[in-house]
Every structure is written in C-alpha cells, then in structure tokens.
Amino acid sequence: MGEQGFAIDVSSPDDWEEVDVWPVEEECAVEGTQQRLVWDWISIASVGPGGVTWCSERLCLDDLEIIRVSEDRIICRGTFRASEETEEFVLDAASGRQISGLRFEDFG
C-alpha cells in the first residue's frame, strides 16, 4: 500500500477524515466487528462505520506486524532496539491500549 489513509462515509463522500497512520502498509478486518485496522511501521489505527475509532501511540521502534486479530485482542510483533529480534506484544482491540509485552515508552 504505502499511501495515506482516509476514512470516507460512502453515503456522504464529502464526510471524511484522515487516518493518523502513514504510510499505510497493511489493513485487515477485526473478526466479529465492523472495524478495520490499518498500520504503518510503528502504530495502528482502527476504523469503523463512524470513522476512526482509535489510534495507538508509537508501539515499537520499527517492523510492526500484526500476527493475529480477534474481537478482543490484537497480537503484534515489532523491534524495540536496532538490530534485534522482534518481540511480541498484545493490544486491546476495543481501545488500542497495550495490555501485555514490551512497551516502546520504556526504552526512552
């Protein structure tokens, strides 16, 4: 993908908002909901019928991947230090808050 993301109300195309993720690298559905996730190398946004639901803080140094998504959890992987292996962490699917794993903010 590699482009800017926009949430557009298809019933009212003039009603749109920019998704605070750039460049959009991937997207996927959140199982059992009307939400879709979009992400770049460091953060994730959730978009639903009403527009952007949440945008995460910076989650990792680089190489963000979403491994698995369910109605309640988003399991991710990313690097936290240069030249190191990726580490797994988990977000709450409803809020985007990190609920387990390494936190980028701890490496400040």
98 pLDDT band, cuts 50/70/90, is very high
CA gap 54, 37 in Å, rounded? 10
Q: What is the pLDDT of residues 11-51, one digit of tens each?
A: 655 665 667 777 788 899 998 999 999 999 999 999 988 88
Whether the CB-CB separation of 23 and 43 falls below 8 Å is answered with no
pLDDT at 108 over 70: no
CA gap 67, 58 in Å, rounded? 17
The domains located in the chain, with CATH, are 3-102 (2.40.128)
Whether the CB-CB separation of 60 and 79 falls below 8 Å is answered with yes
Q: What is the pTM of this model?
A: 0.84
DSSP state of 80: S
